[in-house]
Chain A
């Protein structure tokens, strides 16, 4: 048995060798094992409340991808997640932690609704105008903490979290005060102009043309991040700010720029949600999309293709668990457990596999 020193034959070493040869397989394996472990752990929770775990998972899938209806509902939820997640992936790869996408989304929804309700413009002016206004509002609102971080090194996480609360209560004030609907009955604004509505692309469902906007943005972000100097510099200053500065990269400019891109896209998501789904300014216009998108960007490993896939995955998770609640009687709160577990497990397995590949 002295031949044990032939360690290169053992399966662990083979795996380590494989992982080093193909680094991209690490994340795919991590996601695969992560999903498996998440299902296993949540099965315990589901069984403990007395529901069949397999039935629950069946309902989860059926509700998310079971029919044309449910696929389109999944996509409706995925669209804002995708747009915000793409923006956040830029910020995160620049090591800027923008947790304020929710606030930037709501701020843009406010400015867009002002224009979409009170200005009667033709559609070919209205929609591009709203897209620009949405982007600029989100970008402007995000550039404030970005500027503070770049100039005075103020922690952008705290600044962006705090800025999330301002638009929430601003909307509360507006919809029960100056922007309240004409009948003065419900705390919400009037309907937006017909020309501002993003058309539905699949009859009988809620799927709207915001999907195209999201896909175009994904292509643009992919191009910027992997084909231009700008994307390279953004990533470099995220990897090591001091070394990048030494190498002559303008790190401060990149911090503000990544904040502007992520905030602007969060703002676009606000415009798309307003004009594609809700049609009015009201409470709950975003059920925490800004926060879920953080998970979307993390699971997608801040890569545009990964973000697109993970946004559809999270959209399916949200819509499917909604049906899981109806079909199997599983409480909706469980979906937050599943979301948290998933990110936890994927990051864990990724760390494990990376440390494994560095072994030997």
Chain B
């Protein structure tokens, strides 16, 4: 409650503030000057925006029609004839930026953890979507149209994706796709598991897929990359190339998919020569180029002359570090991971290609055929048609080493060598 005493106090307060007002007068003069300049700027910007909106020929027409089309998509298939005709007339004007005009029969969504040009994990999935779309277009004999975050095969199939989805926020993206009638939602990120299982409960008719899935529902499936098999081969290659008898590897986070690769790499090295030392560093991130550079530098300083990196951005940094070491006269090799990274630099002698593109293509085509089932895991081994493999740059590796690696490869395929999948860190 405001007491009379407080009222007196406030009067005193007001008086002392009035004293300060004289000083503020000078300031407000300048402020008015700045403000008038800025307001002129704003008006300019608004006018500029209006001009830009209208300068593009027929831009306004396309805008109105695209808005109506988005509404028809939300109405899941209930497209009236009048709407479709307006769409077809304006379809010639619309640029690739507007959403697909007619609700497609099959809608597939990808939630991607990284950016689609990360040279690894996410790029693989993205390329898988493109590859699947092209294959399907050839199958149906229709055109492929592409937007900023979707690709459409005629009017039959739409594949949409979202980049840079953090696992703590994945649920919003997943639920949004599910609510908008996407039949298959591929969440290309194991840490988003909680989000998938929670959303799957509320949307029982939609199939959800995630990598290395170890918990299933009738509508949730997992797709497994047996990347530990080519990692074993990478270890064999590293052991054959090393002269210092020390090799190194770094990884992003200790999730099973990654840890089994690190362990298989160690096993591959020790398969050739148990005396070789394997140094391991954790970077904590897949994307940060600088962290990868530091990790690779630390390994090189520790005497490693072959480095196997599993990651996207961190491998770009790792390759830079190895290039620097090579330019200083050291003999250091790099083995990439996640995607085929042999094209990035001459120091990359081989790369464990997870072939995410092949796997995603497989999932999409299986879904369209109605063969995709929830509640189980799909495993992609080195022996399967689509799946992880070791891409070796043949001209950068001595012939005898190449032949030896290929013989081990054959032994794995024949079952003479069984690469164990060890998902715990440590011995």
Contacts from A to B (Cβ < 8 Å): 36-37, 40-41, 43-44, 47, 50-55, 58-59, 62-63, 66-67, 69-70, 73, 76, 172, 176, 184-188, 204-206, 228-229, 232, 236, 239-240, 242-244, 246-249, 278-280, 282-285, 287, 319, 322-323, 325-329, 332, 345, 348, 351-352, 355
**Contact at B13–A348, with CB atoms within 8 Å?**
no
A59 contact set on B, CB distance < 8 A: 70
**Contact at B162–A325, with CB atoms within 8 Å?**
yes
When A246-B16, A352-B35 are in contact, do A55 and B2 touch as well, CB less than 8 Å? no
The closest CB in chain B to the CB of A54 belongs to B63
A50 CA to B42 CA in the complex, in Å? 22
When A69-B179, A232-B6, A345-B42 are in contact, do A240 and B17 touch as well, CB less than 8 Å? yes
**Contact at B99–A327, with CB atoms within 8 Å?**
yes
When A41-B49, A54-B63, A69-B175 are in contact, do A240 and B70 touch as well, CB less than 8 Å? no
- Can you spell out 22 A-B residue pairs with CB atoms less than 8 angstroms apart? A37-B42, A44-B52, A47-B53, A55-B66, A59-B70, A62-B70, A76-B172, A186-B191, A186-B255, A205-B202, A229-B3, A247-B12, A278-B194, A279-B194, A282-B168, A284-B168, A287-B169, A322-B176, A326-B162, A327-B99, A329-B147, A348-B35
A345 CA to B45 CA in the complex, in Å? 12
A55 contact set on B, CB distance < 8 A: 63, 66-67, 70, 97-99
Q: Which B residues from 300 to 328 make CB contacts under 8 A with A?
A: none
**Contact at B160–A52, with CB atoms within 8 Å?**
no
B98 contact set on A, CB distance < 8 A: 52, 55
B172 contact set on A, CB distance < 8 A: 73, 76, 206, 319, 322
**Contact at A37–B46, with CB atoms within 8 Å?**
yes
| Cβ of B104 under 8 Å from chain A | no
When A43-B53, A187-B254, A242-B16 are in contact, do A329 and B97 touch as well, CB less than 8 Å? yes
| Cβ of B59 under 8 Å from chain A | yes
B199–chain A nearest beta-carbon distance, Å: 9
Determine which of B9, B42, B46, B48 lies in contact with A248 in the assembled complex, contact meaning CB atoms within 8 Å. Answer: B9
**Contact at B28–A229, with CB atoms within 8 Å?**
no
A40 CA to B53 CA in the complex, in Å? 10
A9–chain B nearest beta-carbon distance, Å: 23
**Contact at B164–A40, with CB atoms within 8 Å?**
no
* List of 5 A-B pairs having minimum Cβ-Cβ separation, nearest first: A329-B148, A247-B9, A284-B168, A40-B46, A243-B16
The closest CB in chain B to the CB of A237 belongs to B13
| Cβ of B62 under 8 Å from chain A | yes
**Contact at B13–A247, with CB atoms within 8 Å?**
yes
A188 CA to B16 CA in the complex, in Å? 55
When A40-B45, A229-B3 are in contact, do A278 and B97 touch as well, CB less than 8 Å? no
A243 contact set on B, CB distance < 8 A: 12-13, 16-17
A236 contact set on B, CB distance < 8 A: 9-10, 13
B218 contact set on A, CB distance < 8 A: none
**Contact at A185–B194, with CB atoms within 8 Å?**
no
| Cβ of B422 under 8 Å from chain A | no
A212 CA to B307 CA in the complex, in Å? 54
B74 contact set on A, CB distance < 8 A: 66-67
B197–chain A nearest beta-carbon distance, Å: 11
A306 CA to B12 CA in the complex, in Å? 30
**Contact at B168–A355, with CB atoms within 8 Å?**
no
When A326-B176, A329-B148 are in contact, do A44 and B49 touch as well, CB less than 8 Å? yes
A242 contact set on B, CB distance < 8 A: 16
A44 CA to B38 CA in the complex, in Å? 17
Given contacts A205-B175, A326-B176, A355-B32, 10 further A-B contacts (CB under 8 A): A44-B52, A55-B70, A55-B98, A239-B13, A243-B12, A282-B167, A284-B168, A325-B162, A332-B164, A348-B39
A66 CA to B176 CA in the complex, in Å? 11
The total of chain B residues at the interface (CB under 8 A) is 64
| Cβ of B173 under 8 Å from chain A | yes
Contacts from B to A (Cβ < 8 Å): 1-3, 6, 9-10, 12-13, 16-17, 20, 28, 31-32, 35, 38-39, 42, 45-46, 48-50, 52-53, 59, 62-63, 66-67, 70, 74, 95, 97-99, 147-149, 160, 162, 164, 166-169, 171-173, 175-176, 179, 190-191, 194, 198, 202, 253-256, 284, 423-424
In this complex, the member of B2, B49, B99, B167 whose beta carbon has the largest number of chain A beta carbons within 10 angstroms is: B49
**Contact at A52–B62, with CB atoms within 8 Å?**
yes
**Contact at A351–B168, with CB atoms within 8 Å?**
no
A55–chain B nearest beta-carbon distance, Å: 5
A190–chain B nearest beta-carbon distance, Å: 12
A105–chain B nearest beta-carbon distance, Å: 13
**Contact at B12–A229, with CB atoms within 8 Å?**
no
When A67-B179, A287-B166, A327-B99 are in contact, do A58 and B70 touch as well, CB less than 8 Å? yes
B42 contact set on A, CB distance < 8 A: 37, 40-41, 345, 348
A168–chain B nearest beta-carbon distance, Å: 12
When A325-B149, A327-B99, A355-B35 are in contact, do A229 and B2 touch as well, CB less than 8 Å? yes
B157–chain A nearest beta-carbon distance, Å: 17
When A319-B172, A322-B172, A345-B42 are in contact, do A43 and B66 touch as well, CB less than 8 Å? no
A176 contact set on B, CB distance < 8 A: 254
B202 contact set on A, CB distance < 8 A: 204-205
A232 CA to B59 CA in the complex, in Å? 54
A165 CA to B169 CA in the complex, in Å? 21
A172 contact set on B, CB distance < 8 A: 284
A221 CA to B173 CA in the complex, in Å? 33
**Contact at B13–A184, with CB atoms within 8 Å?**
no
**Contact at B45–A184, with CB atoms within 8 Å?**
no
B34–chain A nearest beta-carbon distance, Å: 9
Determine which of A54, A58, A345 lies in contact with B53 in the assembled complex, contact meaning CB atoms within 8 Å. Answer: A54
B45 contact set on A, CB distance < 8 A: 37, 40-41, 44
Determine which of B1, B9, B39, B70 lies in contact with A249 in the assembled complex, contact meaning CB atoms within 8 Å. Answer: B9
A329 CA to B52 CA in the complex, in Å? 19
B149 contact set on A, CB distance < 8 A: 325-326, 329
The closest CB in chain B to the CB of A283 belongs to B168
A47 CA to B413 CA in the complex, in Å? 54
A323 contact set on B, CB distance < 8 A: 176
B97 contact set on A, CB distance < 8 A: 50-52, 55, 328-329
A204–chain B nearest beta-carbon distance, Å: 5
**Contact at B176–A280, with CB atoms within 8 Å?**
no
**Contact at A240–B16, with CB atoms within 8 Å?**
yes
A153 CA to B307 CA in the complex, in Å? 52
The closest CB in chain B to the CB of A236 belongs to B13
The closest CB in chain B to the CB of A355 belongs to B32
When A41-B49, A176-B254 are in contact, do A52 and B59 touch as well, CB less than 8 Å? yes
**Contact at A229–B16, with CB atoms within 8 Å?**
no
A58 contact set on B, CB distance < 8 A: 67, 70
B54–chain A nearest beta-carbon distance, Å: 11
**Contact at A185–B423, with CB atoms within 8 Å?**
yes
B77–chain A nearest beta-carbon distance, Å: 17
The closest CB in chain A to the CB of B147 belongs to A329
The closest CB in chain B to the CB of A187 belongs to B253
A196 CA to B332 CA in the complex, in Å? 53
